[in-house]
């Protein structure tokens, strides 16, 4: 299972699915800084201009403590539009709680613990959400906590369920679509849950992936807009993705695709038109885009960027990319970069695509470094979120 602590490796990003416009909130990028010392952790907001440039930094303290590390595939930020506001939820792994933040006012709405037995200090707390519920994967207790999302970006804890992989792995990556939740365990196994009633109920379909036979272990996961396919990004020495047909509401055996040479493909994001899958090569410091046929579920090789600026000198690991796009191809990707000199950064990568070929080139304005905010950030989110 790929992870880091302050001594080793880390993370992923995320945003909740489903959206409606929040009229009082413009486009923004938000980070979970995962700070383990000092005044506690924080979230940093940046406005996103029409050209994709980020500016107007605002730091909001979360009144919790991070661990400066964890699973690559644990998305520590969830974004949920609510009326004229946008709720941002950020996990605090060491203090075992979730902070609620209003994006309209940049104020903390509260800090919300789950059960006293839910702990994430080992490898973090991943988040995912729909419009009604927030789900938190506690890595140390290997539990999935369910919170009701209340008005005012508040949370109310409902209950938790225990979930462990077939080979002893702990909850890691998570994706939600409709009534289906898909989980990875980092040990080669995956599982789906029914969340139609709120609290996850296993579908009884836990299985080892096809790639696990070659020690390619599913970590990150995304789901197509129609709920037909689950796409897994593997922890592996090459870029390996796997696809499962979940149109029945349950997992089916995966098909594995080796589509590049860059190291570790544990984070995946579909483009809004679903013609591309963006892969963060977490340990290779690069971004890969592969071609995806959303009708057949087949994957083909695409393009890979060079290692982003400062890799292995200023920063050591890349988290899951967030997309500027809200439509189709062409646009920017924002990449969280886990700092090795005491400060993290956000890389900015330009995508150019013809539909059958692509290039990924780092922007001249990249990276964005905040030298006033020491952090171990590898989780970010962007609003507007993908519209499904």
Domains and CATH numbers, the chain: 3-383 (2.130.10.10)
**What pLDDT, on a 0 to 100 scale, did the predictor assign at position 246?**
98
The HSE-up count of residue 83 (CA atoms within 13 Å, CB side) is 8
If DSSP codes are grouped into helix, strand and coil, which group holds residue 347? strand
Residue 24 has pLDDT above 90, yes or no: no
The rounded percent of the chain whose pLDDT value lies above 70 is 92
208-219 CB burial, b ≥16 within 10 A, e <16: bbbbbebebbbb
Section 348-371 average pLDDT: 90
Q: How far is CA 192 from CA 2, 183, 189, 294, in A?
A: 21, 6, 11, 20
Residue 49 has pLDDT above 70, yes or no: yes
Residue 4 has pLDDT above 70, yes or no: no
Residue 11 has pLDDT above 70, yes or no: no
Section 237-259 average pLDDT: 96
Which residues have C-beta within 8 Å of that of residue 339, sequence separation ≥ 6? 314, 315, 316, 345, 374, 375, 376, 377
Distance (Å, whole) CA 372 – CA 86: 26
Mean pLDDT of the chain: 90
Three-state SS for 79-101 is EEEECCEEEEEEEECCCCEEEEE
Count of CB atoms situated within 10 Å of the CB of 354:
9
Per the document, the length of the chain is 388
DSSP letters for 136-162? EEETTTTEEEEEEEETTTEEEEEEEEE
pLDDT digits (tens, 9 = 90+) for 204-244: 999 999 999 999 999 999 999 999 999 999 999 999 999 99
pLDDT digits (tens, 9 = 90+) for 81-129: 999 999 999 999 999 999 999 999 999 999 999 999 999 999 999 999 9
Sign of CA dihedral 199, 204, 205, 206: positive
| Whole-structure pTM value | 0.93
Residue pair 243/297 in contact (Cβ under 8 Å)? The answer is yes
Distance (Å, whole) CA 266 – CA 6: 19
**What pLDDT, on a 0 to 100 scale, did the predictor assign at position 326?**
55
**What pLDDT, on a 0 to 100 scale, did the predictor assign at position 146?**
98
């Amino acid at each position: 299972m790929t992870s880091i602590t302050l001594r080793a490796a880390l993370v992923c990003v995320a945003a909740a699915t489903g959206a409606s416009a929040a009229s009082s909130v413009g486009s923004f990028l938000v980070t979970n800084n995962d700070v383990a010392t000092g005044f506690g952790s924080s979230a940093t907001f940046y406005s996103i201009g029409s050209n994709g440039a980020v500016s107007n930094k605002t730091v909001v303290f979360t009144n919790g403590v991070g661990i400066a590390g964890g699973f690559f595939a644990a998305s520590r930020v969830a974004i949920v539009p609510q009326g004229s506001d946008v709720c941002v939820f950020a996990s605090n792994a060491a203090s075992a709680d979730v902070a609620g933040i209003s994006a309209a006012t940049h104020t903390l709405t509260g800090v919300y613990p789950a059960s006293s037995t839910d702990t994430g200090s080992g490898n973090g707390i991943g988040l995912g959400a729909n419009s009604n519920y927030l789900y938190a994967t506690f890595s140390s207790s290997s539990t999935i906590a369910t919170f009701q999302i209340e008005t005012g970006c508040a949370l109310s804890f409902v209950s938790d369920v225990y979930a462990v992989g077939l080979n002893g792995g702990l909850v890691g990556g998570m994706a939600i679509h409709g009534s289906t939740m898909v989980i990875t365990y980092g040990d080669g196994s995956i599982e789906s849950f029914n969340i139609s009633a709120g609290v996850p109920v296993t579908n009884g379909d836990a299985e080892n992936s096809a790639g696990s036979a070659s020690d390619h272990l599913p970590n990150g996961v995304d789901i197509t807009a129609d709920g037909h396919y689950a796409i897994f990004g593997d922890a592996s020495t090459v870029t390996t993705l796997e696809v499962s047909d979940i149109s029945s509401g349950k997992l089916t055996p995966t098909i594995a695709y080796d589509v590049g040479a860059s190291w570790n493909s544990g984070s995946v994001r579909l483009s809004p038109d679903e013609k591309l899958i963006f892969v963060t090569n977490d340990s290779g410091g690069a971004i890969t885009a592969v071609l995806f046929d959303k009708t057949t579920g087949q994957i083909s090789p695409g393009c890979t960027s060079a290692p982003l600026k400062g890799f292995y000198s200023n920063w050591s690991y890349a988290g899951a990319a967030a997309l500027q796009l809200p439509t189709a191809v062409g646009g920017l990707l924002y990449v969280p970069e886990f700092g090795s000199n005491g400060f993290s950064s956000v890389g900015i990568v330009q995508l150019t695509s013809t539909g059958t070929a692509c290039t990924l080139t780092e922007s001249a304005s990249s990276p964005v470094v905040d030298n006033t905010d020491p952090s171990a950030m590898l989780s970010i989110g962007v609003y507007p979120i993908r519209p499904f």
